[in-house]
Structure 1
Amino acid sequence: MVGENFIKIYEKGFKESWDFPALTDYNTRETFTYRQVAEEIARLHILYQRCQIRRGDKIAIVGRNTPRWCIAFMSVITYGGIVVPILQDFNANDIHHIVNHSDSVLLFLGDLIWENVEVEKLGHLRAAISLSDFSCLDQRDGEKIAKDLTDIDRYFKAKYPKGFAPDDVKYADLDNDKVVLINYTSGTTGFSKGVMLTGNNLAGNVMFGIDSGLHFRGSKCLSFLPLAHAYGCAFDLLVPLAVGTHITLLGKIPSPKILLKALEEVKPNLIICVPLILEKIYRKQIMPMLNKRSLKWALNVPILDSQIYSQVRKKLVDAFGGRFEQVIVGGAPLNQEVEAFLYKIKFPFTVGYGMTECGPLISYTHYTQFVPTSSGRILQGYMQVRIDSDDPYNIPGEICVKGENVMKGYYKNQDATDAVLDADGWLHTGDMGTISEDDTIFIKGRYKTMILGPNGQNIYPEAIEAKLNNMPFILESLVVERDGKLVALVYPDYEAVDDYGIANEDLPVAMEEIRKNLNKEVAPFENITSIQLYPTEFEKTPKRSIKRYLYTR
């Protein structure tokens, strides 16, 4: 059990960072200090008390990242409730299902999402509250939550007649073994599962972040990953708020253009991102620059290439704000070509590994110790790793982990829990990989997506797709098995196709050439027999992962 109580981390942290800026909305520039955040939380606690919300009651939140999203989230866990964050990209039916399945009694939501929600389908819900201003959007007959919210300032002044002071920050006494968060995974089949995370699970992530110095009082953070997802929640919200970091919430889709502008303005001390962002910047900005004829020539000159790479590194560092210590990449595998290039130019990045069921962190290494193609080292003192293989250093097996961060189970789904958590507490991740002697993890692919070759070889389609996605005119791909042969489904980069003046009828010829070149880079048993073109992007989950199951039938 982690020594620090999860809820008390914030009781102490808010007091110590009282006058520091805590949350800023990038779009409106509205800013809350830690004192103001604590005051807003106190107001919501008064509301919960007046409408008799009990310890352990579930409260759901769905909407874009804003200061009030964060305040609502923190108000639930510091009260002793169980917060149910929902990705805003979920459709209305999924929101209905999650609110009902989680038994949520209150729902905080953005006004645009409210337009699509049918409150009559939310059986347990007592009220819906706006994330714009904490006003009541709807309440069940007989409830007085709307009136309580209208009068909340009066109740607040009556409770704190001398004003709200640091000594008034007193949060729930709740043991770390209690569930504080239910995070619904995006899932790829049917409805997603509710991951039950305890205070200990989250404290494990937070204390590792604090001990690693990822954030610190007065540092700056630009939050652009969805806070309803475990990765963004832990390292763009929970760790920063624990130490007094100033969080700026982007609150919009982080296209490279929008993101780079925000990074330049905020100048964060740490950047948490997913591979897609780095890959887009690499393809759209770095590659065109390196492909210029003059630079291509210069890169072949030994003395000049190091100077050019140094200039590229500086431009990239400056583009990311210029003040960050490192970029931590997680959430999905980083394209190996992009990773190799960033490592070559000595860009300060590292790749971590995690999953919602671990809240999320499993492994991480500081960029100065990062081993290329790895996913970092298992968290020392917090987690253990085991590879189900006769030779875990050389032969891939399923990655199993155990420790402080491993979930309690899936909410109201014992069968699913038993399928991944064994009697000894090992979580079977479903990822295949190897480890080194110091427990650095090397992921090869997903157990469920692994294809058995004609002579019993293990084929990991993700590895082939990574190579294929580096080929010209390929935007995204899926490698599947059809009639015992490997076929690549490809959504072309039509923008690049147009730039090169390639007619649609000539595209199959170009793809055949790409197929031949790909097969030179993979093992014979990994050879692709054909490429099938798709006219539209592959359907994705709210996490932007391709719904592979739709294309492997």
Structure 2
Amino acid sequence: MKRSDGLKMKLVDTYTMERVVAGSASRYPKRIALRTYAEEGSELTYSELKRKSDAVSLYFLEQGFVKGDRIALIGESCPNWMLAYFGLTGIGLTAVPVLPEFSPKEILHILQDGGVKAVVVNARHVEKILPFIRKKPEFLIRLEDLFHIPMPISGELKDRNQFLNAPGRDITRRKVDAKARQLLSEHRPKEEDPASLIYTSGTTGMSKAVMLTHRNLVWNADISSDVYFKVKPGYKALSILPVSHVYEFTIGQVLALLCGCEIVYLGRPPAPSSLLPALKEVRPHIIMTVPLLIEKIYRSSVLPTLKANPKLQRYLRFGITRRFIFRIIGRKLIVTMGGRVRFFGIGGAPLDREVEAFLAEAKFPYALGYGLTETSPLISGGKPKNHTVGVIGKIVEHLEVRLEEKDPATGIGEIAVKGPSVMQGYWNNPALNEEAFTPDGFFKTGDLGFIDKKGRLAIKGRTKTMILGSGGENIYPELIEAVINNQDFVTESLVIPEGGALVALIKLDIEAFAEKMALSVNEAKSEAARYLNKLREEVNKELNVFSRLSKVHLQEDAFERTPTQKIKRFLYLRKKDESSDA
């Protein structure tokens, strides 16, 4: 259906969260909507999701909450997280999804800065917020069972065990009769009402609160529902990312629910010991992930197999035989993942170029997506076939994308976007809003990219990470890191400027290095310095003059990362500055 504003509606009649639930419940009432892997009794059908989310809405209305009040959601992905979210937003309350990985200090700042009036939290994270609850004990809800823990009990909690055992009231058991339905209809949200206030954790270190409306989020999911992949009702989606991140929320949850999918939450970190049995049992059609997962699979399973066989090495030199070998490996990967994967979405961070080249030649059904929290998130995306390595894909319909300050020689410029999924703005930060938008309303993403002749977007780096060379050259550290990461034994790297030169911090797989060199681990650490200097010489052969490395250092600890597994660059720039000052 096409609206008067030109937007094309596909699976909803209004761009609100309440209509997402209502529409899907009417189309697929008996289908399972949400469940947690290996957790008996966790299933919610679409009709149950509708009924219980309405009950949650009623409970909050009867407790005196009004449109615009902000409610924090803190906990790992599970059916009750989504149920609570739909209940809150169904009457115009604003959800504040908090990434579970945030520290206690960060979470307390969010609760205070966001003016949060109630908290839905699980036992795993409740101790992080006890200082806040002791000051504001009025409304605390336990995520495990959606029980409201009343005063004075809530204000006297000392630890997670007390929290788990505290008595309370089930907020999902309210009967929804004719009178209740009338009350709900009088408080339904509008498209322009804020649905989520999301505090980001970026690579540059400054946390920002992004205001996303119902229309921002639901439109982005609805417009993408049949463009990249035909999702059929009953398809299973294995959810392994935090739903508090907008990438998983919009594409992995809202889009999947619009299409009648069964979403299965892993319920634990995606380590091989938990992920492999779940893949075998669930046999998902859809998996949304970040690059780190598939890069680990490639480097720990695929690459060693290829390098250990000299005969394979010979065949890999020729395109026809290499593609044949890669397709056999690709089919084995699909079998390992349950045998039914149709869409393996990769987003949240750049995918290593070598890994992508392998996936493309293996005919693995991966699809890249690009976007930001500020754009709800999808700006461009690809399909799970006919890949062009290094290119994301077509720009989402109805979005305007242009390149600011485009370099005439390379065609690279800062990506700016305008359209229905672009945020209202940053919460309580007019100065940042003025900086983030152009005078004619385009949001400046801070990402560098170019658009090819087919209208497809490719990403080249970040404006804030771009390094200006001594001769005025634009140096993109991500491209140098891609070369480093493809060297033997390298697990990850970070390139930073130092005194007008470039320095690489490189983490090696020391155990594999020690085994290959027939050394002890301690001996391997000593030998690593010599290896890194040789590696620097090899890497520099592949780089232009102004992008070459002057120094390399062994990074012994894993790099600190954001929840979408991007390295927190600002931490290492700061450490380098502090060591220089010392």
Task: State the one-letter code of the partner of 2:332.
Answer: K
Unaligned runs of 5+ in 1: none
Q: What per-residue deviation string (whole Å, max 9, x for no partner) do you get for residues 329-382 of structure 1?
A: 1111100010111112222222110000001000012133432101222112x2
Q: In the alignment, which residue of structure 2 is the partner of 1:254?
A: 270
Q: In the alignment, which residue of structure 1 is the partner of 2:580?
A: none
Residue 5 of structure 1 pairs with residue 14 of structure 2: yes
CA distance in 1, matches of 2:341, 2:186: 33
1:227 match: secondary structure: coil
Q: In the alignment, which residue of structure 2 is the partner of 1:19?
A: 30
Q: What per-residue deviation string (whole Å, max 9, x for no partner) do you get for residues 391-429 of structure 1?
A: 568331111111111100011111111111223110100
Q: In the alignment, which residue of structure 1 is the partner of 2:536?
A: 515
Q: What per-residue deviation string (whole Å, max 9, x for no partner) do you get for residues 237-272 of structure 1?
A: 111122221000012111245323322221222221
CA distance in 2, matches of 1:40, 1:454: 61
Does the aligned pair in 2 maintain the 1:377–1:441 contact within 8 Å? Answer: yes
Q: What per-residue deviation string (whole Å, max 9, x for no partner) do you get for residues 267-320 of structure 1?
A: 222221111111001011111211222432444577754442221121012122
Q: In the alignment, which residue of structure 2 is the partner of 1:135?
A: 147
Moved more, 210-219 or 463-472: 210-219
Does the aligned pair in 2 maintain the 1:23–1:248 contact within 8 Å? Answer: yes
1:104 match: secondary structure: coil
Q: Between the two proteins, what is the percent identity of the paired residues? A: 34
Q: In the alignment, which residue of structure 2 is the partner of 1:266?
A: 282
CA distance in 2, matches of 1:11, 1:269: 24
TM-score (norm 1): 0.92
Q: What per-residue deviation string (whole Å, max 9, x for no partner) do you get for residues 137-182 of structure 1?
A: 4547999xx99962757x734x5499x99x9996953321221111
Residue 332 of structure 1 pairs with residue 387 of structure 2: no
Q: In the alignment, which residue of structure 2 is the partner of 1:94?
A: 106
1:98 match: secondary structure: helix
CA distance in 2, matches of 1:230, 1:238: 10
Q: How does 1:198-209 map to 2 (within 5 A)?
A: 198-209=213-224
Task: State the one-letter code of the partner of 2:119.
Answer: L
CA distance in 1, matches of 2:23, 2:384: 30
Q: How does 1:395-544 map to 2 (within 5 A)?
A: 395-500=411-516, 501-502=518-519, 503-544=524-565
Q: In the alignment, which residue of structure 2 is the partner of 1:308?
A: 325
CA distance in 2, matches of 1:123, 1:460: 47
Residue 50 of structure 1 pairs with residue 69 of structure 2: no
CA distance in 1, matches of 2:436, 2:527: 47
Q: In the alignment, which residue of structure 2 is the partner of 1:35?
A: 47
Does the aligned pair in 1 maintain the 2:510–2:525 contact within 8 Å? Answer: no
Moved more, 122-131 or 12-21: 122-131
Q: In the alignment, which residue of structure 1 is the partner of 2:158?
A: none
Q: How does 1:96-495 map to 2 (within 5 A)?
A: 96-120=108-132, 126-137=138-149, 139=151, 150=169, 156-157=174-175, 159-160=176-177, 172-188=187-203, 192-212=207-227, 213=229, 215-293=231-309, 294-300=311-317, 304-380=321-397, 382-390=398-406, 394-495=410-511
Q: Are residues 179 and 458 of structure 1, via their aligned partners in 2, closer, same or farther at CA, if it must alter by over 3 Å?
A: same
Does the aligned pair in 2 maintain the 1:374–1:443 contact within 8 Å? Answer: yes
2:385 match: secondary structure: helix
Does the aligned pair in 2 maintain the 1:392–1:434 contact within 8 Å? Answer: no
Does the aligned pair in 2 maintain the 1:264–1:321 contact within 8 Å? Answer: yes
Does the aligned pair in 2 maintain the 1:260–1:320 contact within 8 Å? Answer: yes
CA distance in 1, matches of 2:185, 2:28: 15
CA distance in 2, matches of 1:192, 1:125: 26
Q: What per-residue deviation string (whole Å, max 9, x for no partner) do you get for residues 211-260 of structure 1?
A: 32553321111011110001000111111122221000012111245323
2:254 match: secondary structure: helix
Does the aligned pair in 1 maintain the 2:133–2:154 contact within 8 Å? Answer: no
Q: Are residues 470 and 190 of structure 1, via their aligned partners in 2, closer, same or farther at CA, if it must alter by over 3 Å?
A: closer
2:514 match: secondary structure: helix
Task: State the one-letter code of the partner of 1:362.
Answer: I
Task: State the one-letter code of the partner of 1:156.
Answer: R
Moved more, 513-522 or 37-46: 37-46
Q: Are residues 393 and 108 of structure 1, via their aligned partners in 2, closer, same or farther at CA, if it must alter by over 3 Å?
A: farther
Task: State the one-letter code of the partner of 2:144.
Answer: S
Q: Are residues 89 and 309 of structure 1, via their aligned partners in 2, closer, same or farther at CA, if it must alter by over 3 Å?
A: same
Moved more, 329-338 or 465-474: 465-474
Q: Are residues 120 and 223 of structure 1, via their aligned partners in 2, closer, same or farther at CA, if it must alter by over 3 Å?
A: closer
Does the aligned pair in 2 maintain the 1:177–1:200 contact within 8 Å? Answer: yes
2:233 match: secondary structure: coil
1:504 match: secondary structure: helix
CA distance in 1, matches of 2:479, 2:406: 22
Task: State the one-letter code of the partner of 2:383.
Answer: H
Residue 80 of structure 1 pairs with residue 92 of structure 2: yes
CA distance in 2, matches of 1:81, 1:405: 19
